[in-house]
Each structure stands twice: as C-alpha cells, then as structure tokens.
Chains A and B, each alone.
Chain A
Amino acid sequence: MTQPQEHLVVIGNGMAGCRAVEELIARDPARYRVTIFGAEPHVNYNRIMLSPVLAGEKTFEQIVINDAAWYADNGIELVSGDPVRAIDRAARTVTARSGRTVGYDRLLIATGSDPFIIPVPGKDLPGVISFRDMADVDHMLAAADAGGDAVVIGGGLLGLEAAHGLTLRGMKVTVIHLMPTLMERQLDEAAGWLLKQALEARGQTILTEAHTAGIVGDGRVEGVALKDGTVIPASLVVMAVGIRPSVALARDAGLAIGRGIKVDDHMVTSDPAILAVGECVEHDGNVYGLVAPLWDMCRALADGLVGRHSGYRGSVTSTKLKVAGLDVFSAGDFSGGDGAEDIVLRDASRGVYKRVVVRGDKVVGAVLYGDTTDGGWYFDLLKRGEDVAPIRDMLIFGQSFASGGGAADPKAAVAALSDTAEICGCNGVTKGQVVGCIAKGAHSLDAVRTTCKASASCGSCTGLVETLLALTLGDEVQAGPKTMCKCTSFGHDDVRREIVAQGMRSIPEVMQKLHWSTPDGCSSCRPALNYYLLCALPGDYKDDQQSRFVNERMHANIQKDGTYSVVPRMWGGLTSPRELRAIADVVEKFDAPMVKVTGGQRLDIFGIKKEDLPAVWADLNAAGMVSGHAYGKSLRTVKTCVGSEWCRFGTQDSTGLGVKIERMTWGSWMPHKFKIAVSGCPRNCAEATIKDFGVVCVDSGYELHVGGNGGIKVRATDFLCKVATEAEAMHHCAAFIQLYREQARYLERTAPWIERVGVAYIRERIADDAEGRDALAERFLFSQRFMQDDPWAARAGGEEREQHAPMAVFTPLDNVREMA
C-alpha cells in the first residue's frame, strides 16, 4: 500500500524553506519526498544569529538549526552550494548551476532576499560587501583581523548590528545614514536620537543626513566619499541599506510578481504547483523582512500541503534591537494621524522613552527605548486589538502598574504617599515639604517651584506637584504659569534656562530631557526651540529648516495668493542706479505685478512665484544686493533720515551711522522682527522713537531709545541713555540686541518684553554695567560671525533647489484623453 510519494523540491535552504519542511514533517512525514537546493555551502542555520557570530558571542556551529543528521534522518536530500538557475514549469523540473536537473510535483520557492547595493561608483571594489550570509561574516572577520577603519552604509537594524560587531572586533567604525535619525522606519525621532547618543558613547561615529557619493580606492576599497566632499577612510565597507525580495528565478519562470512573488493565503503562486514562502513573497500587498511572519506563513503553507486549509492572513511585526545593552523595541504603526493619540513618557535621568499610540481605544503602535520590558505586553494588546479604555491612564506605566488595581486613581495614589516620599528627585524635596510650602501660600506651580524648588529642574515631577496642589487646595488651584505650548509643562523662560544650563544641543534632545508630551512638537514650540538653540550655540547648532515658518524657509514673504514678495537689502535706505536697474529688470523679467516702497524704506517686489525665487535672487545678487530679511524674525531695516550731509538741521551723519549699524546687525536672528532707525536731529524724521532701537542725534552726541513699536499697539520708546560717540552708540546697540536675543521669549517683541521686565532693568544691564555691556556686545559680535551670510546667494547657487521645484507635473487633461 505504499503510495508513490510526491516529490517536493525546495529552492532555498534558509530560514523559511527549512521551517516549512519542518512544519510539513510534523504534520505528515510520509506524504512527500523532499529535495532542498541551497546556494550556500552550509546546512540550515539561524540567519539572525549572524550578528552574535560577528560579535564573537557565538560560533557558526552554535547557530546551526538543522545539522546533517536531520536531513539524513528525514530522508531529505540536500544539494548545497549549488544554486538553482532555472525552473521549467511545463516540464516541472528545476536545473541548478552544476547542470543537475530534477523533476518536481510541488515546488517551493524560498529564496529570501538580495541585499540592495547602491549604484555608486566603486561599489564593485573588493572590500565592499553586504551583510546577509555566513560568507559576508567571514569577510568581515578577515577584515577585522587586519584592523583599520570600517564604514557601514545604512543606519537601520542590520547596519547597526554590523557596526556593533565590527566595533567589538576592534575596528574604528563610522556609520553613514541618509536619514536624519537612525532606524527611522522602526523608531520615532526621539528614540532614534537616544540610540545615536548611546552608540556615539561607545565610540562609533554616526553621520546622519550623509549621502554616499562613491566608494574610492585603487584596486580595493580605500574610503567612502560623501556628496559634501568628505572622504572617510576605510578598508572595509559594509552596505546595509536594504533588501529586495529575490524574485529573478520566479520572474524568469513567468510567475506573477509584484514587489515579491505573489502568493495567496495558502502561499500558492500564480502556478498552482508552485508555492513560495519567506522574504521573497508578497502577500496581500505586503513583504516582510523579519522572521516572525515567516513562521505564520510556514504553518499555513504546511497545512495546505497536507490538504488542510488554515490560511495566512498577514502579520503585524515588531522589532527588537539586540545590540548588546541597548534596549529598543518597536511595533505596529506609530505614525499617529487619524484619530490617533500619543501617550508619551520620557524619563530623562533613566534614559527611558516610551510611546504608545492609541486609536479608538486600541493600541496600534509602540516605541520603547531604554526599558523594553513591556514590549511584549503592548504587542499582545495590539495584536489582540484589546479595548484599553479602562487602563488608559496607566497604560504607559506598563503591565505591572496597569494591572495593579489599587493604583487605578493616580490622585489616590499620590494621596496615599507618605510625607517622606520623595517628589522631586533633582532637588530632593519630599511630599511633606511640598504640602508644607503649599499650605504656607505657594498656590501655583510657579510658586512651589520658587519656594521649595520642587519641579524646578528637570520638571518630570510637575504632574505630581500639580496633583499635590489639587489635593491640598481643592478647587482653589490657580492656573499655572503659561507653558510654551500644549506639548510641554515648561514655560519659555524655563526652557531657555535649561537649554543653557544642561548644554542641550538639538530639538530632540530638548524634547527628551524636558519630557515633551508629543513626538515632534507643534508649530508653536518647534520654531521657538530652533531659535533658542541657535541663540545659545552660535556657529555650532545646525538649523532645522522644517522648524521654521515658511517665510524664513523661503527667504521671502508669502502673500495671500501663495506667491512671494522679495525685498533686497538697501543699506540705511540708500540705493544706486545699478541697484535700481537690477530691481527694475527683475520686475519686468518675472512679471511682478507691483513694486512698493516699504515702511522701512526698502523696495518690495510682489507676486514672485516660488519656483522663480532662486532666479530672482541670482539676478539681485549679481547687482551686489543681498537678502533684506524682510521675512524674518530678525533684524529688518535700519531706517535713516538724510542727516548732516544734506539737511539744514542735521547735527550728525545719521545716514552714515545707519549704514554702519545695518552692516553690523544684518542677518541676526531674533525672538521677533527687529527694527532700527537713526534720525539726524530731534525733528526725528526717521521716526526713531517707535523702533526697537532708535538713535536720535543731537549736538552733543547720540540719544539712545529702546522698545518702540509702530504695530497694532503703538508704543513710543523708552529713553535708554545718551552717549558721545558713534562707536558707543553701536556698542550699546549690539549689547541691547544681545540682551533681547538671550532673554525675550520667542515671538515677544521688544515692547512687551521691556514692559514685562521694566526699563530700569534694561538700563541697569546696558547703560550702568559697562562690563556686562561689553560681554553682551562681544557675544553678539561673535554670533554675527556665523550669521552674516546671505541666504539668497546659497539658494541662488542651487542649495535646496528642490524646495522650489515641483516634484512632478501631472497633466490631467492629457490623461483624460489618454484614458478615453
């Protein structure tokens, strides 16, 4: 009664191919005779353990899944080191490189993926490898033995594992990553930033937003060249930029291919005799690059092979980074959007970041860094689609806390704390002390912060302090200080202070250390943080374009119809035939519908299209004109009158001084727009007394005025002091601007700022304190060394060209015709 066995041929001796055979044997060992072809000269091993082999934590023998005996015991013929080259569907045979041809009744394709090699010059040089199989690991080990520098291209999971292994093997490793943050597909920006910090602390160099231009070397690899011209020396280059389903064989055989080999719910391809499984397949539009989905696929496949039909329904994946000591977990969709709410927990001192995304009371995504113990729990909630409404408040604290019943009401939990319980770790303040200081009259968060210092440092205990306020005062709680925006419990001043005190260097770092409650802030806090960092770290901080309002990104003013207006700088309001001609030419050439003299004595060219901006700037630059920053939270203009050179009343050269002041101050970013004027006599034709900084020249010198505003709420300046020389006037101006730059809140003009801090304070700092004034002016001039750089020139030269050009053009009418 021995039925002739059907012959199952498997192409690919990897994770999925062998697992499918294992599942099949478990169901019905007698049903099929099995032959497995493998391109690699090995038995089946655990590919995901290649990283520990590279790192020296495991040997190859330890990662073998099925040894030779397994194949023998199950009557499986293994043809290793001999890749299949062709499938003949009509004859039902496969032919390998060696020429060996075997017939099949059922064929299973499990060819996995091919590493993606970026098509740059030098990619084929010896010493450039991918990270996919044991042969690659052998290569890396040999290179590490020879010592030297390695470059890993790609800051994803695989690239970071390669980098880690090579570092442990003693190589000096640089990771080049195209995107702004590491592992951007799995991690959000905050977690990516933490990861980068940790890797750098281990001695790796991480270059983000770095574009590989080519690989250099004579006969073998010697380095990697970046688009910005840098060359990083390397004796080994590992490309780990991605994988592509290996479909060439299936495509040549005429099977339906999408991104991968198309399969149905039973892993059957477009040919009913051929199945496919693993990374090489596309199921329901998805391809997978992790092992967990393979297991689900292999179960469905084996069921199908023995005549049961369970069916595969796709998988939700999670990722855990296993680079020693770094705990990173990510699962599901954490992109937010439609009805999704983020619950974020940042614990800066422990280096922990957690983010759970909830939509319609269900967990849809999670990112954990630093403490991943609850990863499995979140993943489980996600997969089961559990209703988390009842535990929502506790969700972010993890499983043990959320299921801890008794602590269900956070208020009750705080009420239950003993008086000696520590509330503020930074300042060592106990609950008793906080309650005591509230009882003594500190009835707001701010008051508590100033009296007993609780929540005055990192702010992570702010919630606790607020709960204590509510518990102690009941409904009397006063509104806290105005926070910067809804993303944080800190006010502007706190944020600025902490940036300087803690030496913070980037927006994600601020958001992490100050416990931001949103993943990437909002349109209020991001421009403010960008400015605060720029002000704190002149020359060092890398400006974040996407955190700037459109005008500053486009270096022109957006108008209501979406066109832009362009204002070239005219120093002190002076111009020349050459400049006027250039402006006139631009107006004609670009069909600008209007030119207008602005309130600040400049010419404003209206109606320029976004795509024309670079050409407009190039023409204006060619006539020697630079950006007027009429769009910026920055120094706008220095308005002048004609002064002593022509005016019969003029006492000093107000025009000349205005030009000098503008030359000193242009280009500087500020909390808000900033205007200056210089008038030649007390008749004040330049209206210096409604400017942020005004100079009125008098016989005996220069009267300095500050804090004027001609806007919605007109405010005349306050008199600051009188000085004798032009040099002193300029020195005071620089010092005043710097004080404003360092102390005002973002979007606070000088007028409300001065009303808030009092003009006496300004006089004290600028007029009375010579030493302090010198220091301020010096800081201003130092930062100007990096600021006085015409943004138009760079753009006209092609920088960020893409911001002006559409990515593509769609001509619907043609398409309509084409469809008809």
Chain B
Amino acid sequence: MTGEWLDIGWVDEIPVRGSRTVQVTGGDDIALFRTGEGKVFALLDRCPHKHGRLSQGIVHGGAVACPLHNWRISLTTGEALGGDKGCTPVIPVKITGGRVLICRTGALQAAA
C-alpha cells in the first residue's frame, strides 16, 4: 500500500445499505459504508457517544444509526444529527474503476 490513496477493495464488497471495516493495526477500525444510492463513505468505527461500532448500525439516507444507543451520525460530516452533539472523524474516500480508495493521511489522522 503506497501512495496517498490506499486501495481497499471492490465497491461491491460492501453491502448496499451496509458496511465493512478496515482493520487498523494498533487503532480503531475504519468503517466503510455504502448507501442505498451506492455512495461510499468512511468514518472512524467509533461512535462519539460511547464508542459504539458504527459499522454495525443501520444505514439509512446519508446517515447511520449507532447500534448501541441509536444516535444518528452523518456519513458525510461524521457529526451526530438531531439533538445529539459529537463528531466522528471522516476519512476521505474515492472510487476509481470500481475500487474503493481511502486517503492515507486521513486514515492516519483518524487513527492517531
């Protein structure tokens, strides 16, 4: 894995309205989400509330509902929606030729 973008795998490997994780050695996982419309987003897999695994939540619209206490976290900004306050780091993602790439510096910053 060299370069600024890390190649993670095929888009199709992430279930629609579901997620997969990237394991980060020595840190929290990164959660990759795919929305109903096929857009892909990445967040640190750690809810700003009590660290629930966002990758295990229900994805709807552009948000994910945390499996522990149902906070809704925006996939684009990482911010808690509704009345809740808190933010999860967002890792830039792009899709090239059907492959999912995440930003290396973004991933490092999130892991730090």
Question: Which residue numbers of A lie inside 8 Å of B, CB to CB?
Answer: 178-180, 184-185, 188-189, 244, 259, 334-338, 340, 342, 518-523, 526-527, 545-551, 553-554, 558, 560, 562, 802-803, 806-816, 818
Give the interface centre of B17, B26, B50, B70 by most chain A CB atoms within 10 Å.
B17
Partner of B37, one of A334, A522, A545, A809: A334
A522 touches B61 (CB 8 A): yes
Across-interface contacts of B93 in A (CB, < 8 A) = none
Query: Which residues from chain B sit less than 8 Å from chain A, CB to CB?
Result: 1-2, 6, 8-9, 12-18, 20-27, 29-30, 32, 35-39, 41, 50-53, 56-62, 65, 67-68, 70, 72, 74-77, 96-97, 100, 104, 107-108, 111
Which one of B22, B61, B96 lies within 8 Å of A518 (CB-CB)?
A: B61
Q: Which of B2, B21, B25 contacts A812 (CB 8 A)?
A: B25
Q: What is the CB-to-nearest-CB distance from B26 to chain A, in angstroms, rounded to a whole number?
A: 6
Query: For the complex, what is the distance from the CA of A558 to the CA of B70, rounded to whole Å?
Result: 13
CB distance from B36 to the nearest CB of A (A): 4
Closest 3 A-B residue pairs measured CB to CB?
Answer: A337-B62, A523-B65, A338-B76
CA distance A338 to B50 in the complex (A): 23
Give the most central of B56, B72, B111: most A CB within 10 Å. Answer: B56
With both beta carbons as reference points, the residue of chain B lying nearest to A561 in the complex is identified as B51
Q: How many residue pairs, one in A and one in B, have C-beta atoms under 8 Å apart? A: 144
Task: Let me know if A337 and B56 touch, CB within 8 A.
Answer: no
B1 to chain A minimum Cβ distance, whole angstroms, is 7
**CA A519 to CA B16, docked complex, whole Å:** 14
Cα(A158)–Cα(B74), bound, Å: 34
Contact A519 B39 (CB under 8 A): no
Given A334-B37, A338-B76, A546-B15, A806–B22 Cβ distance below 8 Å? yes
Residues B13 and A549 in contact, CB atoms below 8 Å apart = no
Q: For B23, B58, B77, which residue has the most chain A Cβ atoms within 10 angstroms?
A: B58
Report which of B22, B29, B74, B111 forms a contact with A338, defined as CB distance below 8 A: B74
Taking A179-B16, A809-B22, A812-B27 as known contacts, 10 extra A-B pairs with beta carbons closer than 8 A to each other, sorted by chain A number, are A337-B39, A338-B74, A520-B61, A523-B72, A546-B17, A546-B18, A550-B58, A558-B68, A802-B13, A810-B111
Q: Are B35 and A336 in contact (CB under 8 A)?
A: yes
Provide 15 A-B residue pairs closer than 8 Å at the C-beta atoms, listed in order of the A residue.
Answer: A334-B37, A335-B38, A337-B41, A337-B76, A519-B37, A522-B60, A523-B65, A546-B59, A562-B53, A807-B13, A808-B22, A808-B23, A812-B26, A812-B108, A815-B104
Select from chain A the residue with minimum beta-carbon distance to B97: A259
Give CA–CA (A322, B41) in the complex, Å: 32
**Complex alpha-carbon distance, A803 and B55, angstroms:** 10
Contacts A519-B36, A560-B68, A810-B25; A337 near B9 (Cβ below 8 A): no
Asked whether A520 lies within 8 Å of B56 as measured between CB atoms, the reply is: no
Of the candidates A337, A802, A808, A809, the one whose C-beta lies within 8 Å of that of B74 is A337
Tell whether, in the assembled complex, residue B111 and residue A812 are in contact, meaning their CB atoms are under 8 Å apart: yes
Closest residue on chain B to residue A342 by CB atoms: B61
**Are A810 and B30 neighbours in the complex by a CB distance under 8 Å?**
yes
Could you tell me the distance between the alpha carbons of A349 and B57 in the complex, rounded to whole angstroms? Answer: 34
A560 CB contacts on chain B under 8 angstroms = 50, 52, 68
Residues of B within 8 A of A188 (CB): 36-37
A653: shortest Cβ distance to chain B, in Å? 41
Decide if B59 touches A809 in the complex (CB within 8 Å). Answer: no
Q: How far is the CA of A340 from the CA of B37 in the complex (A)?
A: 14
Which of B9, B56, B72 meets A558, CB within 8 Å? Answer: B56
Q: B38: shortest Cβ distance to chain A, in Å?
A: 5
Q: Are A802 and B61 in contact (CB under 8 A)?
A: no
- CB B83 to nearest CB in A, in angstroms, measures 14
One of A179, A335, A519, A523 near B57 (C-beta < 8 A): A523
When the two chains form their complex, are residues A802 and B20 in contact, meaning their CB atoms are under 8 A apart?
Answer: yes
B36 touches A547 (CB 8 A): no
Q: Are B35 and A558 in contact (CB under 8 A)?
A: no
Closest to B38 in A: A184
B17:A520 contact, CB within 8 angstroms:
yes
* CB-based contact A809/B76 at 8 Å: no
Are A546 and B107 in contact (CB-based, < 8 A)?
no
CB contacts (< 8 Å) of B70 on chain A: these are: 523
Residue contact B20 to A806, C-beta cutoff 8 Å: yes
